[in-house]
């Protein structure tokens, strides 16, 4: 994209993060998340839901909860599709507190 003088936007980053997470390369998706944050690009609700869901699938619930804490800093309204994977994950491991 840079070669063609095109700058990635939130949709580009969301698609790439989603691709990495769906292919089981969650850590690479999280690296892209860091790049996105470093360039001060504001995520949307769907962007945030991707790493939350991927981390929960890998039983990394506490990391997923960290992403939930970021909702307020981006003024994103919490939709059930964001919280459900975390609640489900904590229930499965018996950690409801």
**Residue 6 domain-assigned (yes or no):** yes
Domain that holds residue 25: 2-92
* Model pLDDT for residues 1-13, shown as the tens digit of each residue: 556 677 889 999 9
Name the residue among 84, 13, 94 with its Cα closest to residue 52: 84
Domain count, the chain: 1
Give the CATH number of the domain where residue 16 resides.
1.25.40.10
- Flag whether 97 is in a domain: no
Residue 94 burial by CB count (10 A; 0-12/13-18/19+): exposed, middle or buried?
exposed
Q: Residue 21, Cα to own-chain centre: how many angstroms?
A: 9
pLDDT of residue 78: 79
pTM of the model: 0.83
Cα–Cα distance measured from residue 26 to residue 17, given in angstroms and rounded to the nearest whole number: 8
How many Å apart are CA 17 and CA 29, to the nearest integer? 4
- 48 found inside a domain: yes
How do residues 35-68 score in pLDDT, each as one tens digit?
Answer: 999 999 999 999 999 999 999 989 898 898 888 8
User: Which of the four pLDDT bands, split at 50, 70 and 90, describes residue 21?
Assistant: very high
């Amino acid at each position: 994209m840079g070669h063609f003088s095109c700058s990635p936007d939130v949709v580009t980053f969301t698609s790439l993060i989603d691709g990495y997470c769906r292919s089981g390369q969650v850590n690479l998706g999280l690296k892209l998340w860091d790049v996105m944050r470093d360039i001060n690009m504001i995520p949307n609700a769907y962007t945030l839901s991707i790493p939350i869901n991927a981390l929960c699938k890998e039983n990394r619930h506490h990391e997923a909860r960290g992403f939930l804490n970021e909702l307020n800093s981006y003024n994103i309204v919490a939709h059930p599709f964001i919280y459900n994977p975390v609640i489900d994950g904590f229930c499965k491991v018996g950690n409801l507190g």
